[in-house]
Amino acid sequence: MEAAGAEGRTTADGPEDPRRRIPRTDVLLADPRLTAAAQLHGRPRVKAAVTAAQQRARRGELRPDQVADAAVAALPGGPPAGRAVLNATGVVLHTNLGRAALGASAVEALVTAAGHTDVELDLTTGRRARRGRDTLDALAAAVPDAGAVHVVNNGAAALVLAATALAAGREIVVSRGELVEIGDGFRLPELLESTGARLREVGTTNRTSLADYAAALGPATGFVLKVHPANFVVTGYTAAVPVAELATLDVPVVVDIGSGLLVPDPLLPDEPDATTTLRAGAALVTASGDKLLGGPQAGLLLGRADLVDRLRRHPLARALRVDKLTLAALAATLRDPATPTRAALHLSGTALRDRTERLREALGAAGRKAEVVPSVAVVGGGGAPGVELDSWALALPEEYAAPLRLGDPPVLGRVVRGRLLLDLRCVPPEHDDRLRSALLNLPTGD
C-alpha cells in the first residue's frame, strides 16, 4: 500500500482525513515554546492562539505539522523581546549584546525588586526615606575617597547633569584631543552644548599642556573637564595633562573616566579608576555602571560632597532618576565583586583551553570537524582599547555563523579570515552543554 504525501495518508478505507493528524491542545501546550509563552502572556491567551491555529488547520490553511509554529507566531510580538544569547565573540563588554552580564546576586535582586520594595520607605519608622539609600551606601563603601555619591540613568546623563548644574551659561574648559564621539553618532561637544554650557577648547588634537588650561580660565569658567578617550588610543608625539596637575588650578576638575572601574586592576594598567582619580584631586568623577563595574546601565557621580549635593538637588536630577530595578541590581553588584565581567576578564587561559578542547572532542565524536586555535579577546564597551587578552577559540567553517546566530539559543561568534571563531571566555561554564547542543544540531550539509 502506497503512503500518501502531505495531503493525506492512504488507509484500508481510503485516504485519511489530514485533520485527524492535527495535534491535540494538550500536546501543543506542552511545546516548550508555548509553555514559555504561557508564563509570559498567560495560559488563556496562549490557549486561544493554539485554538485559532487548530481551526486554520481544519480549514486546510495549515498542515498539521505547522500548527505549533503558527500558534507561536500569532502571539503578541512573536518571540519575547531581548532574547538571551551566548556571547562567544571574545568581546567581554559587547555593546550590541547589552554590555555587562549581571551576576546571580544582581539577577536575584532584580526579581525581588520587581515587586513592592522599601525603595523609599523606612520600615522601622514607617515614614518616607532617602530613595536608593542601600545602593548609595554600597557605592560610597566601594569608593571611600568620595565625599558623596549619586546615581543617574547612564554615563552620559551623569556628565549632562554635571554640565547643567555647574556650567549652564558658563564655560567648560576641555582639551581638543578629548572631544570624542561616544557612540551611535553622539558627540561629546554636542552633548555638553545642549546643556547651555559653552566649550572653551584648548591645546591641539595631540598635545595639550597645563599652560593651555591656565590661559583659558576666567570668571566665566564653570569647570575643567578631562575625558578618558575610551574608544581609541593616540600614540606618537602626544602630551596630556594628568589630573594631579589640573587639580592645582583654582577651579573644579570633573573627570569622565568612562568605563566604571572603581579601583585599580593590574590587568588594565592604563584604565583610569575612580579611587585613584579622586586621590589625584578630581572634584567630581563620572562613570558608567554597565561596563567594567559589571552592573546595570547607570551613571555614577562621585566626589566632593558640596558638588554632589548640588547636582542631586538640581531639577534635572529628577528626570535622570534611576528606577528601583537598577538600584537593586547596582547594589548587589557593588556588594558582590565576583561579577561575570570580572570572571571573563581574569579567566585562566588553561581553563579556557580545556573547555574549548572538550567541546572540540564532543564535535569530533559526532563526526564534525573543528579546531582549537589561539585567539585574542578584547574588553569592548569603550574600555581599555589597547588591551588584548590572550584567548582560545573553536574554529569552524564560516557558513555556520548564520545558522548559529538564528538558532535556539542564538550563538554569536566572530568571522576572521573565512573561519567562524567561538571564544568561550564570555560563555559561563554552566552553558557549555547548551553550546555543544547548538553545534551538534547544525545541518551537516549532506
- What is the per-residue pLDDT across 88-124, written as a single tens digit (0 to 9) for each? 999 999 999 999 999 999 999 999 999 999 999 999 9
The angle formed by the CA atoms of residues 425, 97 and 273, to the nearest 5 degrees, is: 70
Taking the CB of residue 150, how many other CB atoms lie within 10 A of it?
24
pLDDT for 444 beyond 80 = no
Residues 304, 155: one domain? Answer: yes
Across the strands, what pairs with 380? 383
Q: Domain with 240 in it: what CATH number?
A: 3.40.640.10
pLDDT for 238 beyond 90 = no
Sequence-distant (6+) residues with CB within 8 A of 323 are none
Q: Does residue 80 belong to any structural domain of this protein?
A: no
Q: What integer pLDDT is reported at residue 359 of this predicted model?
A: 96
Q: Does residue 256 belong to any structural domain of this protein?
A: yes
Q: What integer pLDDT is reported at residue 406 of this predicted model?
A: 83
Q: What integer pLDDT is reported at residue 1 of this predicted model?
A: 32
pLDDT for 250 beyond 80 = yes
Residues 264, 190: one domain? Answer: yes
User: How many angstroms from the chain centroid is the CA of residue 280?
Assistant: 30
Residues 186, 277: one domain? Answer: yes
Q: Does residue 79 belong to any structural domain of this protein?
A: no
**What is the three-class DSSP state of 218?**
coil
Range of the domain at 59: 9-74
Residues 217, 232: one domain? Answer: yes
Q: What integer pLDDT is reported at residue 81 of this predicted model?
A: 57
Q: Does residue 332 belong to any structural domain of this protein?
A: yes
Nearest CA to 379 out of 426, 429, 421, 337 is that of 426
CA distance 291 to 300: 12
Sequence-distant (6+) residues with CB within 8 A of 366 are 440
Q: Does residue 1 belong to any structural domain of this protein?
A: no
Taking the CB of residue 175, how many other CB atoms lie within 10 A of it?
24
Give the mean model confidence (pLDDT) for residues 3-12.
41
Last residue of a domain, one of 304, 337, 370: 337
Residues 300, 415: one domain? Answer: no
**Type of residue found at 324:** K
Read off the DSSP letter of residue 424: G
Query: What cell was used for 392?
Result: 582560545
Read off the DSSP letter of residue 75: S
User: How far apart, in Å, are the Cα atoms of 334 and each of 130, 166, 296?
Assistant: 19, 28, 11
Q: Domain with 91 in it: what CATH number?
A: 3.90.1150.180
Residues 363, 422: one domain? Answer: yes
- How confident is the model over 152-200, as pLDDT tens digits? 999 999 999 999 999 999 999 999 999 887 767 778 899 999 999 999 9
Please give the share of the chain, as a percent, with pLDDT higher than 90. 74
Sequence-distant (6+) residues with CB within 8 A of 361 are none
Query: What cell was used for 271?
Result: 584604565
Residues 53, 122: one domain? Answer: no
Read off the DSSP letter of residue 239: B
Q: Which stretches within 229-348 are classed as H helix?
A: 243-246, 274-279, 305-313, 315-319, 324-335, 340-345
Residues 243, 302: one domain? Answer: yes
CA distance 361 to 63: 40
39 vs 310, residue with greater confidence: 310
State the pLDDT confidence band at 278, using cuts at 50, 70 and 90. Answer: very high
CA distance 394 to 424: 8
Residues 333, 347: one domain? Answer: no
* Residues in the chain, total: 446
Nearest CA to 395 out of 373, 379, 413 is that of 373
Kind plus residue range of the DSSP H or E element containing 171: strand 171-175
**Type of residue found at 131:** R
Would the pTM of this model clear 0.85, i.e. be above it? no
Give the mean model confidence (pLDDT) for residues 355-371.
93
Residues 432, 397: one domain? Answer: yes
Q: Does residue 141 belong to any structural domain of this protein?
A: yes
User: What's the mean pLDDT when you consider all of the chain?
Assistant: 90
Residue 252: asked if its preceding bond is cis (omega within 30°), the reply is no
Last residue of a domain, one of 291, 310, 337: 337
Q: Cell 589640573: give the residue.
A: 246
Give the mean model confidence (pLDDT) for residues 122-147.
96
Residues 143, 277: one domain? Answer: yes
The angle formed by the CA atoms of residues 338, 85 and 94, to the nearest 5 degrees, is: 60
Residues 170, 246: one domain? Answer: yes
Last residue of a domain, one of 279, 305, 337: 337
- How confident is the model over 9-62, as pLDDT tens digits? 444 454 566 678 899 999 999 988 888 888 777 888 899 999 999 999 998 888
Q: Does residue 419 belong to any structural domain of this protein?
A: yes
**What is the three-class DSSP state of 169?**
coil
Query: What cell was used for 126?
Result: 514607617
Across the strands, what pairs with 183? 186
Q: What integer pLDDT is reported at residue 171 of this predicted model?
A: 98
- How confident is the model over 400-436, as pLDDT tens digits? 999 999 888 899 999 999 999 999 999 999 999 999 9
Give the mean model confidence (pLDDT) for residues 119-134.
94
Q: Cell 557593588: give the residue.
A: 334
Across the strands, what pairs with 226? 255
CA distance 179 to 174: 8
CA distance 135 to 124: 18
Q: How many domains does the chain have?
A: 3
